[in-house]
Structure 1
Amino acid sequence: MSEGRQAYCEVELAGERLWLLADKAVYWPARKMLIIADIHFGKAAAFRALGVPVPRGTTTQNLLALDALLATYACDAIIFLGDFLHARAAHAAATVAAMLAWRARHPHLLLTVVRGNHDAHAGDPAAALDMRMADEPHQVGTLAFCHHPDTPAAGYVLAGHVHPVFHLRAARGGLRLPCFLLGPGRAILPSFGAFTGGHAVQPAVDERVYVTADAAIFAIPR
């Protein structure tokens, strides 16, 4: 990484020290845990099944991105904040085989999926992936892991669903960049998956925005 660029920003949420990663995930050092939202395995396959010509290889991209995180951060567990699978097309043999091969490379990891709206339609992942399934809110200490940001919970909510992006304005049009949106009671993570799109957000006065671009993350001044 170039000098002056940072791979993560450290924040304190509900008394816990968390790292917001430029790679569009959260790392919880005390638990050696990665937190990932909206990976949407099988989304491109679902579009192709409908006759929409979209790129192939998104499953491989997602798995390689996970491998890159695991090579960088000591990790015992991953929590997926919903929409692990996009649709029933994610159960296609080739997609499942790729995920099983990835799982075989990381047999020690404790994997938990908090069910999201797409998971409800797609069904649970293959049992051979050895993943724990949970309904929201899934509480770990002072943190509540959810898919929907507005889920009532006793702890500080970490959620996905929105696929937030921030419009960084410039002289010539500006950029739409994936972002983390942090408020007093919840944090919304950017979508991790390839080919997932984004929804522009406008932060409230009590919310902070951290955008990711070119393997770096930085806070937007309030």
Structure 2
Amino acid sequence: MTGAALHAQIDALQVNAVGGFVGYGEEHAWTQKSGLSKLPYIDDLLLPHNIDVMHTENNWAEALFGTIMDIPDKMKDNIKVIERRCQAVASSGLSAPSTGKKVDVEKHLRAPMNWVVVSGGDHKRKRNGILGLLCKEHFPGLAQHARMLEPAYTWDHYMAVPDTEDREGRNFGTKARRVVGELWDFYRCEAGYEDRANQVANRACYKLVKDMHYEAHIQAVVQYCAEHEKRKVKKEDARNIFLTRE
């Protein structure tokens, strides 16, 4: 039914004395006059009766808000969408309006920055939270790096320390590979995106290891003051206190 035919049918409806419209259930199924019939372009619509404004607005708003706020299971911006968008930009030869430079599609595809949740799982634990715990569990201690034996303060130290075989007979080669490898004991990666997911994990670990030592310093100050000085120190104040050998 075209927009013009639909418009004519709505205009021809006559109110029944007992309620509803005359001919309901026999000639038509209208229970009320749609407000869409008042649109000036209703006659030009090919499928006017398929428009559901409320659900269209609701779904569109939810998708937009979920994407902007990066809400898992609500966002509509996943790896596949990003890849298709980058490929479309590359094939069209579009350039950035502000600088006039062409978009470096390959750079975005080679170096992903964030995690994308494709579907839910059995737990709600954060990816970086689990990576942080694995960094602490597999802390190498002293590491030989750049011909120097020093505490493993950076992710590069994890990369330089050889791994050892675990109870399951697994050996990942280095401590860094073990941390990232054991992440997949908690998650499943969509087929074809394993390399990109490992890049995101490695990128995250650089900051996680740095933050781990920063938090360790704060906790050490709080614990020392509580055990030896018998006073309570808040974390905000502990950031500015540095322990010495004396």
Q: Same fold (TM over 0.5)?
A: no
TM-score of the aligned structures, taking structure 2 as reference length: 0.20
Bigger RCO of structures 1 and 2 (CA < 8 A, at least 6 apart): 1
TM-score of the aligned structures, taking structure 1 as reference length: 0.21
The answer to which structure has the higher helix fraction is 2
The answer to which structure has the higher strand fraction is 1
